[in-house]
Structures are given as C-alpha cells and as structure tokens.
C-alpha cells in the first residue's frame, strides 16, 4: 500500500476509529441513500472521550465531575476575513471539538487541566487573581472566558475544577481555540446558572472578548458564533454587523464536504491576522472621508466600491478592501445558489473566494494554493478554497462522492512530491453547537 494512503487512513482512524476506513475512502458510498457515511463524526468517539475525561477528572481532581459539556470546531464554507468588516459569513459547526468535565468547589480556587497537554500539569489560580495573564499556556483561552464573565458582571459564585480534551486535528485552523472558549462558557453557565441561554449572541461575544482582550488575538465573531450555535446538517448564514443569523439546510446531493489539511501549523496570534484587520480599518477610515456614514467595508456594493475606491490612499489597504467587498457579494450569491440547489455555482464562488484571498488579501500560502489548484484540476470537485484565517491550516472542498478516492489520492501524491510531507483529508458533516452532555 502506498505510504500516503497509509497516512490518510491513519489520520482518518484518528478522527473515527473504524476498521472500514480504507473501504470508506476507496469506495465512498451512501448505499441507503440516507445517512451519508461520516468520516469525521463524533458518534463513535463521543462516549470514549467522555469516559476518558471522566476518569481523568477523577484522577487529577480527586472526585467525580458534576457536568460534562462539548463545544465544536467549525469550517467556514465562504465569507472569509469579513466577519470583522461587517460582512456575512457561512460556516458550519463540526462534529469534533472540545469536551470538558467540571465541578464547583467550595472555595475560590480554579484548577484547569488539559488531557491534550499533560506536561503543562494543572493550572491553578484564584477567582480574585484571574486578571493574571498566563503566557503561552493553553489555559489563557479558558481563563480569558472566566475573566470576560466577571468583567461583564456575570456572577461566578465559587471556584471550580475543569478538565478538557479535544478531538480536532491540532493547529489545523478549525477553531480549536474558539471551541475551548465556548466550552468554558457553556460549563460556567451549567455550573453557576449564569447568563441568558436564550440569547444566541451572549456566549460568542463573551468568548470573543476573551480572545480579543485577554489572549490578544483580534479575531472576529465567526468562530465563536458557529461553535455556540451550529446545527446538525446545516450551515449558518451570519450577518456579523447585526448578529442576525439563519440556518441553511446543506443539501449536498451526491457531494460531500472534504477538508484538506496542509499539516502546516497555523498560528493566528503573532501572525499577520492583526495586520490585515488594521489595513481594513485604514481603508474604511479613508473611505469615510468621502462616505462619512459608511458603517463597514462590507456595506459597500461592488459598484459603490468601484466608484469610491480611489479615496483609499495606499494600494495595500485598497486591495484588502477589494477582497472584503467582493467576498461579501460572493457569500450572499453562494447562499442564494445553495437555496436554488446549484452546487456548481456555489463551487465556482468558492474558487473565486480563494483567488481573492490569495491575491488581494494575501492570507494564503503555497501549501494552501497547491491543495486548491489540485482540487480545481480534479473532475468531480465542484469548488475548493482555503478556509479560516489562512497562512496554513486547511482547504474546504465540495467533492462528488464518486471522485473522493481519486481526489484524495492524486492530491496527496502531488502534495507530497512538492512539500515532502503529506496532507490529510476529512469528510465532514455539520454538527450541533455547544451543549451540556450530562
């Protein structure tokens, strides 16, 4: 068996231990015509992880947990780098994410432990010293959410113990950080009955606040919103200006969503992400010299942008704005295409999105570009683009199921030849948002 096939199988086995993974890839079928075979699925893994987590909580904390919660990662189908430009985004939650076991304490102590970073040991602090930052420790994403709750006056009446474990591929840009943040928010709600579970924006905003102000990453709202509010078999069209959203059933016909992971680590903090945001703000400030009431870049139609773009003095912010304006139009057109069951139009818009992210927004990289280009050359791939923040991470592809094996095998062979290591592929199905499991 070629080495790259072994590797694909290994990675798939990681996300869903399954004897039939090889068969799944070679003849990807939906014989009953109902339930698509789901390779990235938590159904089988979920109870395993929950029992591992429960055992780990008992071992590390010395007693049994009170609650177990889950929050998913996300993949964005289209609408990239426009959540912080007042645009629409179209993500779906994944079935993989982060699980957490927790219990209240009778004192003010907070103890965090991650089964994924055992060498970091238990992070301990007090509710009263939560403002202390924790360097590069994973726990800052979790502590940041506790901090945000307190800053917003949401009462956390005692300390608590928390153990977590994730099943997303690490550093793949599938929002493991947002899933951890939303998980901690879900745990806090469950333990302390705080906040308003009927408000779909509350938890995402608290999680975003944690990431912006505590972690120092100036992200938009998309990832946290998708993690909190995802819906099985649906994508979510979110208007990031108003936080209004609607679910769109993902009628994929004979196609599947395939995530291709460059396996090039994607690291948002300290990357050019914050620079892109600042360049968009510069473009908006320049445009406001001629359009004083313009609320955000994505409020411009492409025609308005063409008429006023010269107000943006520097070429770089002008190109960033060109992406934001065109991506907003593509996202709305893609939503429309899906409503009309036109997956081919949807796929073409995805391809255009990648080109704009590559050329105007400049957040792609050679690894992402090669994966997208190979996909565009494959019969049966309707659309392919980088997804998420960029600079590494993953592409998202719409692939006819009869082309799945050819796509993954040929793409991986060419990828390995060029970069000397392999990509990984996951067939995904949209899952539900964060929830209390038990």
Catalytic site positions: 223
What's the closest the beta carbon of residue 55 comes to ligand GAF, in angstroms? 32
Cβ contacts of residue 431 below 8 Å, gap of 6+? 42, 72, 92, 93, 94, 95, 96, 230, 232
For ligand GAF, the closer CB: 355 or 414:
355
Report d(CA 394, CA 414) in Å as an integer: 16
Of 369-388, binders to ligand GAF (CB under 6 A) are 388
The residue ranges of DSSP E strands in 334-393, in sequence order, are 381-387
CB 262 within 8 A of CB 168: no
CB 41 within 8 A of CB 66: no
**Binding of ligand GAF by 282 (CB under 6 A):** no
For ligand GAF, the closer CB: 93 or 102:
93
Report d(CA 137, CA 134) in Å as an integer: 6
Q: What is the DSSP letter of 40?
A: B
What's the closest the beta carbon of residue 90 comes to ligand GAF, in angstroms? 11
Tokens of 44: 């089988």
What's the closest the beta carbon of residue 83 comes to ligand GAF, in angstroms? 5
**Binding of ligand GAF by 73 (CB under 6 A):** no
For ligand GAF, the closer CB: 99 or 141:
141
Report d(CA 245, CA 317) in Å as an integer: 29
For ligand GAF, the closer CB: 41 or 76:
76
Report d(CA 42, CA 274) in Å as an integer: 33
**Binding of ligand GAF by 80 (CB under 6 A):** yes
- Assign residue 79 a region (left: φ > 0; alpha: ψ between -120 and 50; beta: otherwise): left
**Binding of ligand GAF by 144 (CB under 6 A):** no
What's the closest the beta carbon of residue 384 comes to ligand GAF, in angstroms? 16
Of 205-244, binders to ligand GAF (CB under 6 A) are 219-220, 222-223
Stretch binding ligand GAF (CB under 6 A), from 79-87, 144-152, 159-167, 244-252: 79-87
**Binding of ligand GAF by 389 (CB under 6 A):** yes
- Can you say how many angstroms the Cα of residue 148 is from the centroid of all Cα atoms in its chain? 21
**Binding of ligand GAF by 81 (CB under 6 A):** yes
**Binding of ligand GAF by 169 (CB under 6 A):** no
**Binding of ligand GAF by 83 (CB under 6 A):** yes
Number of residues that make up the chain: 438
Pinpoint the alpha helices (H) of 88-220.
139-151, 176-192, 202-209
- Total residues at interface with ligand GAF (CB under 6 A): 11
For ligand GAF, the closer CB: 280 or 312:
280
Stretch binding ligand GAF (CB under 6 A), from 74-82, 98-106, 142-150, 334-342: 74-82
What's the closest the beta carbon of residue 216 comes to ligand GAF, in angstroms? 13
**Binding of ligand GAF by 87 (CB under 6 A):** no
What sign for the dihedral angle of Cα 260, 265, 267, 270? negative
Q: Going by DSSP bridges, is the β-strand pair 160-166/109-114 parallel, antiparallel, or unpaired?
A: parallel
For ligand GAF, the closer CB: 49 or 217:
217
What's the closest the beta carbon of residue 80 comes to ligand GAF, in angstroms? 4
Of 99-118, binders to ligand GAF (CB under 6 A) are none
Cross-strand bridge partners of residue 236: 247
The residue ranges of DSSP E strands in 240-293, in sequence order, are 245-249, 255-261
For ligand GAF, the closer CB: 61 or 92:
92
411 burial (CB, 10 Å; 0-12 / 13-18 / 19+) is buried
Assign 5 to helix, strand or coil: helix
- Footprint on this chain of ligand GAF (rule: CB under 6 A): 76, 80-81, 83-84, 219-220, 222-223, 388-389
């Amino acid at each position: 068996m070629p080495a790259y096939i072994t590797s694909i199988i290994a990675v798939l086995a990681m996300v869903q231990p399954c004897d039939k993974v090889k068969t799944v890839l070679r003849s990807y079928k939906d014989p009953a015509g109902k339930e698509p075979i789901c390779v990235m699925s938590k159904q089988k893994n979920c109870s395993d992880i929950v029992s591992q987590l429960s055992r780990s909580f008992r071992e590390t904390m010395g007693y049994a947990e009170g609650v177990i919660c889950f929050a998913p990662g996300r993949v964005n189908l289209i609408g990239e780098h426009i959540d912080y430009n007042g645009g629409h985004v179209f993500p779906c939650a994944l079935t993989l994410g982060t699980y957490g076991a927790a219990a209240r304490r009778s004192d003010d102590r907070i103890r965090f432990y991650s089964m994924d970073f055992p060498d970091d040991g238990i992070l301990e602090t007090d509710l009263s010293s939560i403002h202390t930052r924790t360097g590069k420790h994973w726990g800052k994403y979790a502590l940041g959410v506790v901090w945000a709750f307190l800053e917003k006056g949401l009462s956390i009446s005692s300390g608590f113990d928390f153990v977590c474990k994730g099943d997303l591929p690490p550093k793949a840009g599938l929002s493991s950080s947002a899933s951890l943040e939303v998980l901690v928010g879900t745990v806090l709600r469950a333990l302390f009955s705080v906040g308003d579970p009927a408000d779909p924006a509350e938890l995402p905003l608290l999680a975003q606040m944690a990431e912006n102000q505590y972690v120092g990453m100036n992200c938009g709202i998309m990832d946290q919103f998708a993690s909190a509010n995802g819906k099985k078999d649906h994508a979510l069209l979110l208007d990031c200006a108003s936080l209004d959203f609607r679910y769109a059933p993902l009628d994929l016909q004979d196609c599947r969503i395939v995530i291709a992971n460059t396996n090039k680590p994607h690291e948002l903090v300290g990357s050019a992400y914050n620079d892109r945001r600042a360049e968009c703000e510069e473009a908006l400030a320049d445009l406001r010299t001629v359009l004083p009431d313009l609320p955000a870049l994505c409020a411009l139609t492409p025609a308005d942008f063409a008429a006023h773009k010269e107000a943006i003095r520097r070429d770089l912010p002008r190109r960033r704005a060109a992406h934001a304006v065109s991506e907003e139009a593509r996202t709305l057109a893609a939503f429309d295409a899906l409503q009309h069951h036109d997956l081919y139009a949807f796929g073409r818009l995805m391809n255009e999105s990648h080109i704009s992210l590559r050329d105007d927004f400049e957040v792609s990289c050679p690894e992402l570009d090669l994966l997208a280009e190979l996909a565009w050359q494959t019969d049966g791939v309707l659309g392919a683009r980088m997804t998420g923040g960029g600079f590494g991470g993953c592409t998202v592809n719409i692939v006819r199921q009869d082309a799945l094996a050819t796509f993954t095998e040929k793409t991986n062979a060419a990828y390995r030849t060029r970069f000397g290591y392999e990509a990984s592929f996951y067939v995904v199905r949209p899952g539900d948002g964060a929830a209390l499991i038990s």
